[in-house]
Amino acid sequence: MVKASPGRRRAGLLMSAVAVLAAVAACGTGAQQAGAPRTVPGTAAPATDGPTTTPASPAGTRCHTPELRASVGRNNPGAGQENFPIVLTNASERTCTVRGYPGAAFLDASGKQLGPDPARSPDPPGTVTLAPGDSAWAGLTFANPEVSGARAATPAALLVTPPDEREPLKVTWTGGEVPVSGNESTVRLITFSPGTGA
């Protein structure tokens, strides 16, 4: 019987461990590619990419739709990208919070949705505390359809749903064409930050 040297034995154990980890990782990747639901805390209820969980802040401090005003700030374009801030302002007389992402959907003049729901950036959601009159903004970004070649449409409005609420706010859209299908048609949302994004 030939005795393996300690160095060879360690190398064999390390290779076995790497093989096991690779197998586990492959299983996880397969589940994600198969469309397994994922949970993203602090997201608006109407979004369609999986269930959401209750935000870290208690429901009693969360800003509710009737307490908020929605607006879309000025475009800050760059490198073929269009970047708009979706702004929520606390119009109530109490301090409340928003956390994570808003729900968003472009609508035509008849109220029909244009294109799919926006995708979400992988940024970790944070809680923004809004005193009366304070604002928080979430980024809405997409490739300019003239640059990307995506099929485009000009919305009449943007429907904005505050995080973890079901009732939306409707904002007139004045930002021009948006991608609705085809090459580079993904519209993305970035989590809320304090201020107006101006």
* Mean of pLDDT over the chain: 77
User: Cα–chain-centroid distance for residue 114?
Assistant: 18
Average pLDDT over residues 156-180: 95
pLDDT at 185: 78
Q: Is the pLDDT of residue 61 over 80?
A: yes
Q: Give 139-153 pLDDT, tens digit per residue.
A: 999 998 888 888 899
Output phi, psi for 79, to 5 deg: 50, 45
Closest CA to 173 of 101, 114, 119, 118: 114
Domain locations along the chain: 65-194
Average pLDDT over residues 8-30: 37
Average pLDDT over residues 46-60: 42
Closest CA to 163 of 82, 9, 29, 56: 56
Indicate the pTM of the whole model.
0.69
4, two tokens:
């393996």
In this structure, CATH architecture of domain 65-194: Sandwich (2.60)
User: Cα–chain-centroid distance for residue 73?
Assistant: 18
What are residue 97's DSSP bridge partners? 62, 129
Average pLDDT over residues 150-171: 94
Average pLDDT over residues 160-175: 95
